[in-house]
Amino acid sequence: METTLNIPQYKMNEEQEKKAILRKYRALLHALKPKLKPGDKEQVRAAFEVAAEAHKNMRRKSGEPYILHPIAVATICVEEIGLGVTSCICALLHDTVEDTDITLEFLQREFGAEVTKIVDGLTKIANVLDSNISQQAENFRKILLTLTDDPRVILIKLADRLHNMRTLESMRREKQLKISSETVYVYAPLAHRMGLYNIKTELEDLAMKYLEPDSYRYIAQKLDNTKRERARYINDFIRPLKEKITNAHFVDFEIYGRPKSIHSIWHKMKKKGVSFEEVYDLFAIRIILNSPPDREKEDCWKVYSMVTDEYTPSPERLRDWLSNPKSNGYEALHTTVMGPQGKWVEVQIRTKRMNDIAEKGLAAHWKYKEETTEESRFDKWIRQIRDMLENPETNSVDFLQDFKTSFLAEDIYVYTPKGDIKMLPVGSSALDFAFSIHTKIGESCIGAKVNHKLVPISHKLRSGDQVEIITSSKQKPKAEWLKFVVTSKAKSKIKDSLKEEKRTIGEEGKLLLTKRLEQMHIPATQVQFEEIAGYFKINSTLDLFYEIAIKRIDLNEVKQWSYSGDKIVFPKPEKVSPEEKSNSNKILAKKDTELIIFGESSDKIKYSLANCCKPIPGDDVFGFITQGEGLKIHRTNCPNAARLLANYGHRVVKTKWVKNKEISFLTGIKIIGLDDVGVINKITNLISGTLKINISALTIEAKDGLFEGNVKLYVHDRDELENLVKRLTDLPGIEKVERYDTENSI
């Protein structure tokens, strides 16, 4: 769903529009043709006509007729996700109940219960995601309920999001940032978990186009410039492999190269601190075999043997997802080999069935499900989510973060002492493993043996580890355990246990308070307890009793209370000065401000710069209203930006820099170069002497002929910093200069 306009913004007359709509609709029918059964075409036509009539006066932000959006979503469902007729009908109708006069009762009458249920699920998701009243993280639970109920709801929603991302250029900048952050934070990982790798990749690339426009354009241009050279290399690499596979009597197979996504290349550059030219795996070679089910694994390993006979493999880069498929059903063999010219190349080997699941994810999973009675890993994943959702305690503010770490992360495979496999998210500790076996084992866990070596319960596990849990009847869960568990089950069970302990301790506090109230002739009722909790600014009576029991609240205060007219009379708080009151209730204007804040009250308000990303004038930034610390300014590519923009869109404030050469900002640069005589002198002369930039701190470390320097300095804006970086890079002996954002670099 998106905001609509009734005024066209582009040039196309009514006749041309009708032809465009009809052309797109016919293309949809053509894509759906292999799946149509008798009567289906009429149902699809009816859905198209209902949607076209309902949206006839509506236009998208681009000015084009709105009906083109549901047709595009339906086409993505059919062509790119592999869904069928029912999903196509639902996609055509997905915005009707929310945006038009069409009711669920009407859909039930015209299209039946199944279509109505899915459209209802899609409407509820739209209401959750577009709501600014409560946090999206809190409401995301409702979306997941639809996933476990009917996964087609999520698949259609992913198609809807993909089309909105493809047409995002018509939106305002702040809307682009919010939608892109939400996409990269929630939808791309969800697409990955559903096995939709192509859609996940495209969502990440499109989000990057708006969140990191400079980096996106830079990598896209580089890929374009090296296209011909890459194609030549791929052909040279493939030629001997093709010959080998053909000689081994594999008749039906495909082998081709495909470029890695812009987002994954950028991620590698950032993670490894390398330039575009230093990213070795810019593409992957894919080999797809047409093998019968009983020979799939055998054939894949045979081809792997041929690949590694021709090219030397990197042993630590073998990924065997044939023996242990991912929880979303993905199966393949991945290896990295040394190709011609000393270049590393990733090779992926899979069968047509495996490729179908890799391309179409969940839709293909259903198609092949009839061939096996065994519960798949995807089914187990869905079941785990359902278990988590049924726990009444899973409505906390950090729900979405828990969901991401528990269910959207990659998997590791860990073995029990008997050799059984447990699948856990990356980052899981020995304690997560203990809780995955049984709650009681988790609660009494005091340590573990990983590969026969004793480790603490916080020890992070890796794929292939064999884990034995050590327990003690005297052990009890502790609050610090929450810091080193990532699975939802472990977190919720630890919280339950802590709450139970709190309740037990709280009973003592309740008795103390009751006794003291009786001495003051104040009735000890639930109403009075709630009033007292409010007086102490405590959220619940359980917390009140607990605070009293651990002596954090002094019951001597009760002596100052009185009881009148069924109410406790508390002493009045000390008077607050008007100035203090003003400071606590609103953000004050700041003199000589260098940011314009677009808000209702004033365009110049008090703010602080976020330490996590250290913005400076010229950076693309947004304001975020914190709880207790006023307005914080973050860069749009800040490590925390995606989470803030996705979860708390209603607390984001549009901001823009204005030039102010009077104010300097602390930032940092890292310099790497050859450890040569006089190089440090050249650097400091350029910064302080030539460019007149004030240095705050400088550290230099030399090792094996190279030096690494960290410089903290004061600049006026991004232009000044970029000029400095360029001038430093031009100095002889300097290999790399880059900005850093965190405080701990010096």
HEC-encoded secondary structure of 656-696: EECCCCCCCEEEEEEEEEECCCCHHHHHHHHHHHHCCCEEE
The pTM assigned to this predicted structure is 0.60
Q: How do residues 157-214 score in pLDDT, each as one tens digit? A: 899 999 999 999 888 888 888 888 888 877 888 888 777 888 888 999 999 999 888 8
**Residue 363: band (very low, low, confident or very high) from pLDDT cuts 50, 70, 90:** low
Q: C-alpha 720: how far from its chain's center?
A: 33
Tell me whether strands 608-609 and 631-635 are parallel, antiparallel or unpaired. parallel
Q: Write out the H or E segment, with its range, that includes residue 344.
A: strand 344-351
**Residue 88: band (very low, low, confident or very high) from pLDDT cuts 50, 70, 90:** very high
For residue 480, give Cα distances in angstroms to 400, 452, 498, 551: 21, 26, 11, 21
* Whether pLDDT at 7 is above 70: no
Q: Give percent of the chain above pLDDT 90.
A: 14
Least confident range from 323-337, 525-539, 566-580, 640-654: namely 566-580
Can you give the pLDDT at residue 389? 55
Can you give the pLDDT at residue 390? 53
- The neighbouring-strand residues paired with 532 are none
**Residue 371: band (very low, low, confident or very high) from pLDDT cuts 50, 70, 90:** very low
* Mean pLDDT computed over 508-529: 82
* Whether pLDDT at 397 is above 90: no
Q: Which residue has the higher pLDDT, 675 or 299?
A: 299
Q: How do residues 684-734 score in pLDDT, each as one tens digit? A: 888 888 888 888 888 888 777 788 888 988 888 888 888 898 889 888 888
* Whether pLDDT at 41 is above 50: yes
For residue 717, give Cα distances in angstroms to 671, 730, 742: 19, 21, 18
Q: How do residues 582-609 score in pLDDT, each as one tens digit? A: 343 333 333 334 556 544 333 446 778 8
Tell me whether strands 694-703 and 706-715 are parallel, antiparallel or unpaired. antiparallel
Q: Write out the H or E segment, with its range, that includes residue 335.
A: strand 333-338
Question: Residues with catalytic annotation?
Answer: 98-99
DSSP string, 607-622: -EE-TTT---TTS-EE
Can you give the pLDDT at residue 142? 55
Q: Say yes or no: domain 409-486 is CATH 3.10.20.30.
A: yes
* Whether pLDDT at 35 is above 70: yes
Can you give the pLDDT at residue 581? 40
In the chain, what are the domain boundaries? 14-211, 220-369, 409-486, 496-554, 578-657, 665-745
* Mean pLDDT computed over 119-127: 74
Output the six-digit token pair for 324.
């242990």
CA distance 529 to 526: 5
Q: Which residue has the higher pLDDT, 379 or 623?
A: 623
Q: How do residues 649-665 score in pLDDT, each as one tens digit? A: 777 777 777 665 566 77
Can you give the pLDDT at residue 741? 62
The closest of 46, 143, 125 to 85, measured between CA atoms, is 46
Asked whether 633 and 608 are in contact (CB, 8 A), the reply is yes
Least confident range from 6-10, 89-93, 108-112, 418-422: namely 6-10
Q: Which residue has the higher pLDDT, 558 or 699?
A: 699
* Mean pLDDT computed over 301-318: 90
Can you give the pLDDT at residue 585? 35
* Whether pLDDT at 33 is above 80: yes
* Whether pLDDT at 127 is above 60: no
Can you give the pLDDT at residue 245? 92
Q: Which residue has the higher pLDDT, 421 or 321?
A: 321
* Whether pLDDT at 672 is above 70: yes
Q: Which residue has the higher pLDDT, 133 or 728?
A: 728
CA distance 651 to 622: 10
DSSP string, 97-151: HHHSS--HHHHHHHH-HHHHHHHHHHHHHHHHHT--SS-HHHHHHHHHHHHHH-T
**Residue 118: band (very low, low, confident or very high) from pLDDT cuts 50, 70, 90:** confident
CATH topology of domain 14-211: Hypothetical protein af1432 (1.10.3210)
* Mean pLDDT computed over 288-298: 90
Q: Give percent of the chain above pLDDT 70.
A: 81
Q: How do residues 224-257 score in pLDDT, each as one tens digit? A: 888 888 889 999 999 999 999 999 888 889 999 8
**Residue 333: band (very low, low, confident or very high) from pLDDT cuts 50, 70, 90:** very high
665-745 CATH choice from 3.30.70.260, 3.40.1190.20, 3.40.630.30, 3.40.50.1820? 3.30.70.260
* Whether pLDDT at 392 is above 60: no
* Mean pLDDT computed over 500-520: 83
Q: Which CATH superfamily is domain 220-369 in?
A: Beta Polymerase, domain 2 (3.30.460.10)
Q: Which residue has the higher pLDDT, 547 or 378?
A: 547
* Whether pLDDT at 301 is above 60: yes
Phi, psi (5° rounding) for residue 664? -110, 155
Interhelix angle 352-360/197-211, nearest 10 degrees: 40
Share the mean pLDDT of the chain: 78
